[in-house]
Structure 1
């Protein structure tokens, strides 16, 4: 496979040459077919939307591992992302910590709601199996 830093016809297009956000490469495949590969440079990550957002993988599952209240009124937190294992320590404002607490509370409510649904679904399955076993006379008084 051969790769050149050229465009169609072996020359760089004016617009592509002036755009620093991407490069164009012409690649000749083993079959002889030519293709163009446009590579876009990664743009800067947007400003952090909250302590619950991971700056590396953008997961909204960042959680505190440790915390303490320093003298200046903020909070010292150790934060970790369970998806990519990113972690950091820092001092954060009371408002940021309140927002993180709200997000954690919402996450807990979601988990409890899911637990309730799963528990109900499991109980329904167990009851259905019990009814089938009763109807087939597989459950006897000695089983109790």
Structure 2
């Protein structure tokens, strides 16, 4: 499992993680589509699923909150980049309105068999991303 970096000012814990199986799928999708991004759906299309798009395909604005960057880079290589590999960072966004409801929640991206009904790039793979959630410690939650 990987944890996203902490990007919200004043916070000390990650808000987003991805399971090993989600990371493996994200690496394959990156190879097919290039850089990726997530936006946590607010109930349209596929319920409240994390939607994965090619980076920049969904426009974000001041009405969205960046929850973190998931670094799916594999270690190794000798190409002179930090850690020997090109960074593969995936931004994870949520609408400000939805964040008001989920502000005490840590999200873990996972993958399960079955097709979602949304526009997320994993749909043709016969799997879909889901969110597993848990409450954050009160002292770490953004209020």
TM-score by length of 1: 0.19
Greater Rg, structure 1 or structure 2? 1
Query: Relative contact order (C-alpha < 8 Å, sep 6+): which is higher?
Result: 2
Structure holding more helix per residue: 1
Structure holding more strand per residue: 2
